[in-house]
Structure 1
Amino acid sequence: MNYLDWVILFGTIAFIVLYGTWRTAGTRNIEGYLKGDNTMKWWMIGVSIMATQASAITFLSTPGQAIEDGMRFLQFYFGLPIAMVIISVTIVPIYYKLKVYTAYEYLETRFDLKTRLLAAILFLILRGLSVGITLFAPALVLSTILGWPVSVTTILIGSLVIIYVVSGGTKAVSLTQRQQMTVIMSGMILAGILAYAMLPAHVSFGDTINLAGTLGKMNLVNLEFNPNDRYNIWSGLIAGTFLFLSYFGTDQSQVARYLGGASVAESRLGLIFNGLLKIPMQFMILFIGVMVFVFYLFYQPPVFHNTVLKARALQTEQGQQLKVLEQQYAQLHAEKRIAVDQLVNAMHTDNKTEVETTGTKVRELYKQETAVRDSVKSTIAKAIPGAKTQDRDYIFLNFVLNNLPNGIIGLLLAVMFSAAMSSMAGELNALASTTTMDIYKRSINSTADASHYLKASRWFTVLWALLGMVFAMLATFAENLIQFVNIVGSLFYGTILGIFLTAFYVKRVKATAVFVAALLAQGVVLYFYFFTDIAFLLYNIIGCAVVIMTGLILQLILDLNNQ
């Protein structure tokens, strides 16, 4: 990076913080702070929903997911449009009719206080953990670039978000997310264009698709039903629908985005807008990862993408072994490069026999490279016990830092920081509103005036930001970040969704039955997580089904005992 990159990076961040603070400095009431005065148009709602969901993890981790695992992660989002239609038709009118600040207020109306508190607490746990994960991604980027400890970069980024969220609440979040999404989408599209432009002149766009397909990276749809497979069309359409129903219908970080709409119609249009555009956006990000994969077929990538960790390991007694493995990797890549050129030539001459033969050779060399990379990870783990050797989250970052021109590097880093700030801002605002309205005002101090709750919301924003910083500094993530954040959500969303679906559609089930059923369901989901290999998306169906079915059974028992 040079001075131009730093100017673009910090200029973008400073503009977002100052703009959000300036435009919302007049927020003086709890209605404006938590609901944005109900002035948002449909397109603003749609952009805000997408920006809250699309954190830095999306743009840092998703391309790496595609590079190592192909495009099949896209199936995760196939249930999203279905969920958006269901929420728009059934859930949005209920929230507007009750004029709630949070989704959990409705549960007290339908059930009782303890059920409202249970759902709110489950949300606070999962979203509080997610804030830490969201913050960890850009802190990791800045730590890698500057060589600073992750703890320092975590505090720096968290403090910047606090400034404008505390100032303007929901309105600040929504206003800044428009600028952030502009930076994000333009930067990612530019990265994909540059990845293709840097390929050798004889490689056409069609060749890149054929190469990626030959090596198994264009695996968009898997029709096989396998409960242990995280990503297939069935898990996406069925389990994904349940996940997104819970996320967008009961998660305050998303509910707050459309509760600020000017009308029911505006909120509905915003949700449909998100449902229609999210899949193409994820396709684009994954495809950028595939383009980087093809780029690395012609230009040797690092054997281990966490270069800071590798440098530390080289200073240990395992350093010599790492150097030997690096040499093996370089030799394999040189052989693979020759085979890739032969494969491209065979494609140009439409020699199917040669395509099959050379394709097999390239796949075999790629497997050998992967085996060497696995050996490198094992060696680093020996050299530095406890170190995170999953380097998938660093692949796209390394590509940006080492291959793109100055100025573009700063822009793409600004993309990651903008995404992190927009997502974290939405999460903090939701955590503050839930803590204030569902916990503090309802159960601790119910007699204060509006200005007191406004101050409380701001202090809770700061508190959750600090907790998120602590979690980001202390936690280690064995999974890659994009998977980890979805796993955390799936641990709790099924139970929360079960409570809400019971509230909406199973009228015979009362408070005590649903409360006990929810506790049991949460225990079942945690059991499946710790003691089975079932794909995490299915936790959403399991948790939801246990709440509804157990609730019905318990209510029947209670009714019989009361006769």
Structure 2
Amino acid sequence: MSNIDVIIFFGYLIGITIFGSSFYRRNKTSSAFTTGSNSIPGWVIGMSIFATFVSSISYLALPGQAFMSNWNAFVFSLSIPFAIIVAVKFFVPHYRKINSPSAYTYLEDRFGSWARIYVSTCYLLTQLMRIGIILYLLALAIHAVFGWSIAAIIIVTGITVIIYSVLGGIQAVVWTDAIQGIILIAGALFCTGYILFDLPGGPGQLFAVASSENKFSLGSFNLNMVESTFWVVFIYGIFINLQNYGIDQNYVQRYVAARSEKEAKRSALYGGLLYIPVSMLFLFIGTALFVFYNSAAAGLPAELMEAAQSDRVFPYFIVQELPVGITGLLIASIFAAGMSTISTSLNSSATVFLTDYYERYFKKSATEKESMSFLYIATFSIGLTGIGIGLSLMNVTSALDAWWKLSSIFSGGMLGVFLLGIFTNAGSSTGAVLGVLSGIVVIAWLSLTKLFQLEETLVYQIHSYMTIVLGTTAIFLVGFLISLLNKSSESKKSENVT
């Protein structure tokens, strides 16, 4: 990059870091650190929800996915409205009524402490993978710009975000998210316009070439579960997005942090729906890049044409093709957006450790000083673990594909426990336990079959995206049926006694 781009890049990051750190004075209590003392404006919460969802995973991996294949990933976005409707109608009022910084307090009241521990553990594993994936994607972007070691970038970035998260708390997270969301959308729009009018044949060339190559395809509509067909991705999206907007600590903290239930509902609705057109924009950029580099507009290094390098194409375009000044701003915004998303995971995970473990089992009468000290230690520990995971993901084929597969496995069907508790009256502790055990068996069976490549088994013919679907379904159905049987048995015993 030019010196101007470098100055803009570091100036922007320093400014965002200072802005986020300025909230340190407002984080003197654990309540302020985790929920902002329930005083954050609704529009900020909404933009924060959007920015948390989009992150660097979407900004880099979605264009890479569209460049490498087609728009199959957009089917995931099409499932979002179904999840948001359920979240706004049922989950947001539920959490506002409980008024706990942890999303998992309810499960202990409903089924016992084991349910709270199980689901919170699944959540923490998922967030660790998320942190690692985003650190890796950020390193790709910076490596494309400066040529620095990807491993070194992951380590330095991780440590920087840890410090930023400790100083800023949830208020710094949501306010910086709001800023990043606006800048990311503006940057994506600029890139789209630049590519369209820089093609030798103009916008018409893009649509002609992309259509002939079937780049706008949403995937096959076959009813098999072997490949990432339209229906596999759509069903997967419904379950993952129900989990995101319904039980994910990242979102639940924002619902609780809003000033009122009305603002919380509006934030969930607008923050989620905004992702749909923006994800379409990112995929369009990927398709446009495919046409751009397969025309006479510009050349692309041969190694970036490989599937394993697809996530690096957009950063390469930003550095090589965009005007001076814009390059630095876009790279900085991608980097800072990733920082905000990581800080969200760090803050929410530390909150879970505090409320679901430390204050519940180790220090029930902890002082504010002790709680704040624990939050700092938890944030550092989670961040360091995330750095280690990021280093281990350096050779994945597609970051988006890896994230979807890993989140499907580590989520552990946790959605099933919530659905059993909230939407049925028959759910009992015994039924929930047996349901979870059956879900774990299903998830382990599917995962291990893929891991050891047991092609001769029937399970091997099921796409890995379906892991969360089948695991959640097993938990809900088994838990519900066992609870009904127990209830029926207890009723018969009561009649016999009478």
Relative to the length of structure 1, the TM-score reads 0.81
Q: What is the distance in 2 between the residues matched to 1:459 and 1:248?
A: 28
Give me the whole-angstrom Cα distance separating, in 1, the residues matched to 2:236 and 2:151. 36
The yes-or-no answer on 1:284 pairing with 2:281 is: yes
Give the stretch that moved more between structures: 64-73 or 113-122: 64-73
**Deviations for 1:210-262, whole angstroms, at most 9, x for unmatched residues?**
22111111214654333223241x33443321211111211112221222111
8 Å Cα contact 2:199/2:205 also seen in 1: no
For residues 144-184 of structure 1, what are the alpha-carbon distances to aligned partners after superposition, in whole Å with 9 as ceiling and x for unaligned? 43333323211221122223321131111001112211221
Alignment pair present for 1:427 and 2:345: yes
1:30–1:454 contact (8 Å) kept in structure 2: yes
Matched ranges for 1:261-410 at <5 A: 261-298=258-295, 299-305=298-304, 390-410=308-328
CA distance in 1, matches of 2:463, 2:182: 34
User: Runs (4+) of structure 1 moved beyond 6 Å?
Assistant: none
Q: Is the 8 A contact 1:477 1:484 kept in 2?
A: no
The unaligned stretches of length 5 or more in structure 2 are: 450-459, 494-498
Deviates more, 1:105-114 or 1:504-513: 504-513
Give secondary structure in 1 for the equivalent of 2:294: helix
* Partner deviation per Cα, 1:103-157 (whole Å, 9 max, x = no partner): 1011111111111111111111111121111111112322343333323211221
Equivalent pairs, count: 479
| SS of alignment partner, residue 148 of structure 1 | coil
Query: Conserved in 2, the CA contact under 8 Å of 1:491 and 1:539?
Result: yes
Q: Percent identity?
A: 28
Worse-matched range after superposition: 527-536 or 41-50: 527-536
The Cα shift of 1:542 comes to: 0.8
1:497 equivalent in structure 2:
415
Asked if the contact 1:36–1:260 (Cα under 8 Å) also holds between the matched residues in 2, the reply is yes
Say if 2:360 is the partner of 1:442: yes
Alignment counterpart, residue 527 of structure 1, candidates 436, 442, 445? 445
Structure 2 SS opposite 1:70: coil
- Say if 1:494 and 1:541, in contact at 8 Å, map to a contact too: no
In structure 1, give the amino acid aligned to 2:184.
Answer: I
Counterpart of 2:466? 538
Aligned to 1:194: 194
Q: 1:302 to 1:107 in 2, by over 3 A?
A: same
CA contact (8 A) 1:246 1:494 kept: no
Which is higher, the Rg of structure 1 or of structure 2?
1
Q: CA deviation at 1:15?
A: 0.9
User: Distance in 2 between the 1:20 and 1:256 partners?
Assistant: 18
Q: Confirm or deny that 1:208 pairs with 2:206.
A: yes
Contact 1:165 1:425 in 2 (8 A): yes
Paired amino acid for 2:438? L
Distance in structure 2 (CA, Å) of the matches to 1:275 and 1:20: 24
Distance 2:486 2:334 in 1: 52
1:533 to partner: Cα distance? 4.0
Alpha-carbon RMSD: 2.0
Name the counterpart of 1:453: 371
1:229 to 223, 227, 230: 227
The answer (yes or no) to whether the contact 2:50–2:272 under 8 Å persists in 1 is no
Letter in 2 for 1:228: V
Q: CA deviation at 1:503?
A: 0.8
**Separation in 2 of the partners of 1:238 and 1:147?**
40
The letter for the 2-side match of 1:218 is: F
CA-CA distance at 1:24 after TM superposition:
4.0
1:547 maps to which residue? 475
Compared CA separation, residues 536 and 42, structure 1 to 2 (3 A): farther
Aligned match of 1:245: 242
Q: Decide whether the 8 Å contact of 2:70 with 2:214 is kept in 1.
A: yes
Counterpart of 2:31 in structure 1 is 31
Kept in 2: contact 1:24–1:171 (CA 8 A): no
CA deviation vs aligned residue, 1:367-393 (integer Å, no higher than 9, x gap)? xxxxxx66xxxxxxxxxxxxxx71111
How much has 1:208 moved relative to structure 2?
Answer: 1.6
1:313 paired residue number: none
- TM-score by length of structure 2 reads 0.91
Structure-2 residue corresponding to 1:22: 22
Mapping of residues 13-162 of structure 1, within 5 Å: 13-162=13-162
Q: Give the direction of change, closer, same or farther, for the CA distance of 1:151–1:237 in structure 2 (3 Å limit).
A: closer
Q: Following the alignment from structure 2 to structure 1, what is the Cα–Cα distance between the partners of residues 411 and 77?
A: 16
**What is the rounded CA distance, in whole Å, between the counterparts of 1:487 and 1:220 in structure 2?**
19
Classify the secondary structure of the residue corresponding to 1:391: helix
Q: Deviations over 1:377-410 (max 9, x none)?
A: xxxxxxxxxxxx7111111122222222322221
What CA distance in whole angstroms lies between the structure 2 residues aligned with 1:56 and 1:494?
Answer: 24
Question: What displacement does 1:26 show?
Answer: 2.4
Greater displacement, 40-49 / 427-436 = 40-49
Q: 1:454 and 1:154 mapped to 2: Cα distance?
A: 27
Give the 3 Å change call, closer, same or farther, for CA 477–265 of structure 1 in structure 2: farther
Deviations 1:501-560 (A, max 9, x none): 011012222123212321321231232233224233322321111001111343356557
What's the secondary structure of 2:411's corresponding residue? helix
* 2: CA distance, partners of 1:557 / 1:266: 41
Are the equivalent residues in 2 in contact too, given 1:43–1:270 (CA < 8 A)?
yes
Go from structure 1 to structure 2 and tell me whether the alpha carbon gap of 1:468 and 1:288 turns closer, same or farther (over 3 Å shift): same
Q: Of 445, 459, 467, which aligns to 2:385?
A: 467
Counterpart CA distance in 1 for 2:179 and 2:38 is 20
Specify the alignment match of 2:456 in structure 1.
none
How far, CA to CA, are the matches of 1:94 and 1:450 in structure 2? 27
Q: Give me the whole-angstrom Cα distance separating, in 2, the residues matched to 1:23 and 1:510.
A: 43
Partner-residue secondary structure (3-state), 2:72: helix
Aligned with residue 255 of structure 1, among 246, 252, 255: 252
Name stretches of at least 5 consecutive residues in structure 1 with no aligned partner.
Answer: 306-372, 375-388
How far off its partner does 1:72 sit? 2.2
CA 1:245 to 1:494, structure 2 compared with 1: closer, same or farther past 3 Å? farther
CA contact (8 A) 1:16 1:179 kept: no
Report SS of the residue matched to 1:228.
coil
Q: Verify the 8 A CA contact 1:126 1:489 in the aligned structure 2.
A: yes
State the distance in 1 between where 2:149 and 2:236 align: 38
Change (3 A) 1:492 1:502: farther
Query: Contact between 2:48 and 2:271, CA under 8 Å: does it hold in 1?
Result: no
Q: Distance in 1 between matches of 2:202 and 2:136?
A: 37
Query: Could you tell me how far apart the structure 2 residues matched to 1:409 and 1:159 are?
Result: 25
From the superposition, tell whether residues 92 and 436 of structure 1 become closer, same or farther in structure 2 (CA, over 3 Å): same
Q: Distance in 1 between matches of 2:268 and 2:165?
A: 23
SS in 2 for 1:446: coil
> Offset of 1:7 from its aligned partner?
0.9
Contact 1:36/1:170 (CA < 8 Å) preserved in 2? Answer: yes
CA distance in 2, matches of 1:130, 1:556: 37
